[in-house]
């Protein structure tokens, strides 16, 4: 049984949240399972982590989850949409910040025929202050329906970098292209994988690249559909595939790299400048075009 099916079938400690949403415990995580006429999805309260999203129009999850991911407290989930915050990458410990490895609160959940709207929040506490000595309030708004929308807002006196680090499910990474990336990028690997067309990528090896002047829309063109990713108030888009280095990553299957590509909505070159007075936010909207 696939990991997604297993999560869908988990009803331990089940608590009904709304008509299409229940809360359950899966291993060491508390998970919201969403089964709505427009989509199915799940969110872990650890990291406000969207685990998968499959709209009705698609026969496969568009937001992809690794079969080998660990549901351990304090360990980042592999796949879905990790919230990397308040830093991106390995500039400090833990890698990609702490927001993805601490528990968030469910603030609200409502639904209508278009889908489910959920707000999760995180405020500084004893644990977060061990990593980062700032007062902050973070809120993640999710809309899960025919489209998938995430908006992260923060308040507090600090600058932060981050990413909505989306893992997209694809039929085979060698058969897709990603466009709308712009022409300027920072190569994070020593291997060279020059785009054939400016702003468009195809893949035949590991890639880790920060595009610093991306267009507002990235398109992942797959065999019979296109994933349209509208970035909102972002500064960069990261493309990442481990390719066959997946075999060295404990929570990825050896062949799993064929089935996902990361196209991440980021604030790296222009950090989020927050203040105590107003919220600043950035986000992403994901749609499937047939
Ligand atoms: O393994 P993780 O900490 O989740 O990071 C996975 C990847 O995230 C981003 O795409 C970075 O650009 C990569 O350098 C990193 O390898």
Domain ranges of the chain: 3-289
Strand partners, 177: 221
130-139, 192-201, 272-281: the lowest-pLDDT one: 192-201
Neighbours of 249 (CB within 10 A): 15
Tell me the C-alpha to C-alpha distance, in Å, between residue 83 and each of 3, 89, 126. 21, 12, 20
261 CB near ligand 1 (under 6 Å): no
DSSP annotation of 246 reads G
- The size of the chain, in residues, is 290
> Do 65 and 52 contact (CB within 8 A), yes or no?
yes
> Do 52 and 64 contact (CB within 8 A), yes or no?
yes
CA of 276 to the centre of ligand 1 (A): 30
What's the confidence (pLDDT) of residue 120?
98
What's the confidence (pLDDT) of residue 8?
95
> Do 50 and 142 contact (CB within 8 A), yes or no?
yes
262 CB near ligand 1 (under 6 Å): yes
State the pTM of this model: 0.97
Query: Both tokens of residue 191?
Result: 């291997």
**Cβ-based neighbours of 166, under 8 Å, separated by 6 or more:** 63, 81, 229, 262, 263, 264, 265, 284, 286
Strand partners, 138: 122, 154
What is the DSSP pairing of strand 217-221 with strand 207-211? unpaired
Mutate to test the pocket of ligand 1, among 238, 246, 252, 264 (most ligand atoms within 8 A of CB): 238
Binned at pLDDT 50, 70 and 90, residue 189 comes out as: confident
Q: Is residue 192 pLDDT above 70, yes or no?
A: no
> Do 42 and 31 contact (CB within 8 A), yes or no?
yes
Average pLDDT over all residues of the chain: 95
- Name residue, tokens 């950035």: 282
Ligand 1: atom nearest CA of 210 is 12
Separation CA 140–CA 120 (nearest Å) = 5
Mutate to test the pocket of ligand 1, among 186, 191, 240 (most ligand atoms within 8 A of CB): 240
What's the confidence (pLDDT) of residue 1?
92
CATH fold for domain 3-289: Beta-galactosidase; Chain A, domain 5 (2.70.98)
């Amino acid at each position: 049984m696939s990991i997604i099916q297993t999560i869908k079938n988990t009803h331990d400690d089940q608590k009904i949240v709304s008509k299409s949403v229940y809360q359950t415990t899966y291993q060491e995580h508390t998970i919201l399972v969403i089964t709505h006429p427009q989509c199915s999805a799940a969110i872990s309260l650890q990291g406000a982590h969207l685990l998968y999203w499959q709209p009705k129009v698609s026969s496969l999850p568009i937001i992809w989850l690794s079969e080998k991911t660990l549901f351990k407290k304090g360990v980042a989930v592999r796949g879905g949409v990790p919230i990397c915050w308040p830093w991106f990458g390995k500039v400090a410990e833990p890698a990609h910040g702490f927001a993805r490895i601490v528990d968030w609160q469910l603030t609200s959940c409502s639904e209508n025929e278009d889908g489910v709207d959920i707000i999760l929040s995180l405020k500084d506490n004893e644990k977060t202050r061990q990593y980062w000595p700032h007062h902050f309030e973070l809120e993640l708004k999710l809309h899960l329906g025919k489209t998938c929308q995430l908006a992260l807002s923060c308040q507090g006196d600090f600058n932060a970098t981050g990413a909505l680090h989306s893992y997209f499910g694809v039929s085979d990474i060698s058969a897709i292209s990603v466009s709308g990336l712009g022409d300027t990028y920072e190569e994070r690997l020593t291997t060279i994988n020059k785009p054939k067309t400016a702003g468009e990528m195809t893949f035949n090896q590991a890639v880790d690249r920060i595009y610093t002047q991306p267009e507002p829309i990235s398109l992942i063109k797959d065999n019979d559909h296109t994933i349209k990713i509208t970035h909102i108030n972002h500064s960069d888009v990261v493309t990442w595939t481990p390719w066959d280095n997946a075999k060295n990553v404990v929570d990825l299957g050896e062949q799993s790299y064929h089935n996902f590509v990361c196209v991440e909505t980021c604030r790296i070159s222009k950090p989020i400048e927050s203040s105590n007075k107003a919220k600043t936010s950035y986000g992403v909207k994901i749609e499937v075009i047939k």
